[in-house]
Chains A and B, each alone.
Chain A
């Protein structure tokens, strides 16, 4: 995970904002850009234009659920989470585990039979389901490389670019 080391100004800015002004400041928009790169391997980090998306989303809760203290959008969440109950952190990775199916997280799930959020997506799933879900619904860019260009590792993994298979030869034409 080369991207894990990439510390991001935006995240720091967001943390600073959080500590200074609980949510009055965030309601005004939060950080301007956030580089999403902790999972980056096959694709380059995403330079996420946070300011642009706050305008489009309408509500912070659209992506941040109940963590900013807004009432959740999903009625299923609203059964427990109410307004004015901000969480300690608003970062996706604080709740959505990077290793969703790792032995450690699965053991944590198994150890607590009372746990409600057992089907919560991991970090990669949360990013893609949330981003792509909205992009597809609103007609935004939805190709993989529209948000993050493929790395060389990615090209090798997908057998594409300079690792693309040689053109099909032989009598069988498809």
Chain B
């Protein structure tokens, strides 16, 4: 009799030990997995001080991506006066993967600031993290692309994106999917060519190159022009870093940038929870079965004795 008891006790002990060990491994597993980006990924450095608001980038994007004709010509600057719901400026839509907005900054010499806006191609994209059908992919070239064939149109990525970039094909009744800039991956980036907007820009507002080189270039440009730029490269560290980065001569929050995002990738906020899921699914059943066996030991024994007697 005693022997069996001991065996059960040992069993319980083993299960507990295994559970502890498993929790230990899981803790290290979720602590790791920080991704610092593909080493040779490309990026774009946008110098806001150079943009003159000609909208050529918008036209180039429209042509390259085969998007529908615009509501107004691309050389029509009246779009800068348009105001959307809640006083918002223009946003990316299913028909326009990039838009330029005008910001009148008080006290700035040289007129308003124009800011081109498109997907920033995060190093650790929140859209990718949030997508439950795994439609998104961060390519080694730096682009965040997506597979519209698997997209179910749930729009979770639109909520997840810290920059409010993905747009939705509301116009499609049969197959509404998410639409956004893919850094011209299919037609240009994967062949080593710059996105269409970069090449089309007359002012060379955008510099295309290896992300690591662009970071150096950005800081060099700040240093070489004392007093001109804000000493910060927006996107170098924001939300874990983005492939598109920005230089500005006015505080970033004055020209539509969210400066409250922090430097943690969005995935970090859910990593702990997601790391727990496999632990819960594998360890908890074993652990609680063990507890159950231990707790019911006396009763089982009693029954056994009763049966005997």
Residues of A within 8 A of B (CB): 76, 100-103, 106, 109-110, 118-119, 121-122, 124-129, 132, 136-137, 142, 144, 150, 157-160, 164-165, 168, 174
Across the interface, which residues of B come within 8 angstroms of A100, CB to CB? 204
The chain A residue sitting closest to B217, CB to CB, is A119
Partner of A101, one of B63, B111, B193, B224: B193
Q: State whether B203 touches A76 (Cβ < 8 A).
A: no
Across the interface, which residues of A come within 8 angstroms of B276, CB to CB? none
Assembled-state Cα–Cα distance A121/B201 (Å): 12
Q: State whether A157 touches B202 (Cβ < 8 A).
A: no
- A101-B194, A158-B59 known; A122-B73 Cβ under 8 A: no
Q: State whether A125 touches B73 (Cβ < 8 A).
A: no
Q: State whether B54 touches A159 (Cβ < 8 A).
A: no
Q: State whether B202 touches A124 (Cβ < 8 A).
A: yes
Across the interface, which residues of B come within 8 angstroms of A125, CB to CB? 201-204
In the complex, which residues 186-243 of chain B have their Cβ closer than 8 Å to any Cβ of chain A?
192-194, 198-199, 201-204, 207-210, 213, 217, 220-221, 224
In the complex, which residues 33-67 of chain B have their Cβ closer than 8 Å to any Cβ of chain A?
50, 52, 54, 56, 59-60, 62-63
- A119-B220, A157-B63 known; A165-B71 Cβ under 8 A: yes
The chain B residue sitting closest to A174, CB to CB, is B82
Across the interface, which residues of A come within 8 angstroms of B50, CB to CB? 129
B306 within 8 A of A: no
Sorted nearest first, the 9 A-B pairs with minimum C-beta distance are A125-B204, A160-B73, A101-B194, A158-B74, A101-B208, A128-B202, A103-B192, A158-B75, A121-B204
The chain A residue sitting closest to B226, CB to CB, is A76
The chain B residue sitting closest to A96, CB to CB, is B204
Assembled-state Cα–Cα distance A129/B199 (Å): 15
Distance in Å: Cβ of B82 to nearest Cβ of chain A: 7
Supplied contacts A157-B60, A158-B56, 19 more A-B pairs, CB within 8 Å: A101-B199, A106-B192, A106-B209, A119-B220, A119-B221, A122-B204, A125-B203, A126-B204, A129-B204, A144-B202, A157-B59, A158-B75, A159-B62, A159-B73, A159-B74, A160-B73, A160-B75, A164-B73, A165-B73
Distance in Å: Cβ of B145 to nearest Cβ of chain A: 20
Residues of B within 8 A of A (CB): 50, 52, 54, 56, 59-60, 62-63, 69-76, 82, 110-111, 192-194, 198-199, 201-204, 207-210, 213, 217, 220-221, 224
Q: State whether A168 touches B71 (Cβ < 8 A).
A: yes
Partner of B204, one of A76, A103, A128, A144: A128
Q: Pick 18 A–B contacts, CB within 8 A, sort by A.
A: A100-B204, A102-B193, A106-B208, A119-B217, A128-B203, A128-B204, A129-B50, A132-B52, A136-B111, A142-B52, A144-B202, A158-B59, A158-B74, A159-B74, A160-B75, A160-B76, A164-B73, A174-B82
Of B50, B199, B202, B210, chain A has the most CB atoms within 10 Å of the CB of B202
Distance in Å: Cβ of B298 to nearest Cβ of chain A: 74
Assembled-state Cα–Cα distance A128/B192 (Å): 25
Across the interface, which residues of B come within 8 angstroms of A129, CB to CB? 50, 203-204
Across the interface, which residues of A come within 8 angstroms of B52, CB to CB? 132, 136, 142
Across the interface, which residues of B come within 8 angstroms of A119, CB to CB? 207, 217, 220-221
The chain A residue sitting closest to B74, CB to CB, is A158
The chain B residue sitting closest to A136, CB to CB, is B110
Assembled-state Cα–Cα distance A17/B133 (Å): 67
Q: State whether B213 touches A118 (Cβ < 8 A).
A: yes
Q: State whether B59 touches A159 (Cβ < 8 A).
A: yes
The chain B residue sitting closest to A164, CB to CB, is B73
Across the interface, which residues of B come within 8 angstroms of A165, CB to CB? 69-73
The chain A residue sitting closest to B195, CB to CB, is A101
Partner of A124, one of B74, B204, B207: B204
The chain A residue sitting closest to B192, CB to CB, is A103
Assembled-state Cα–Cα distance A165/B71 (Å): 6
Of B71, B110, B199, B204, chain A has the most CB atoms within 10 Å of the CB of B204
Distance in Å: Cβ of A11 to nearest Cβ of chain B: 21
Across the interface, which residues of A come within 8 angstroms of B62, CB to CB? 159
Across the interface, which residues of A come within 8 angstroms of B217, CB to CB? 118-119
Distance in Å: Cβ of B97 to nearest Cβ of chain A: 16
Across the interface, which residues of B come within 8 angstroms of A157, CB to CB? 59-60, 63, 74
Assembled-state Cα–Cα distance A168/B63 (Å): 21
The chain B residue sitting closest to A129, CB to CB, is B203
Assembled-state Cα–Cα distance A137/B209 (Å): 30
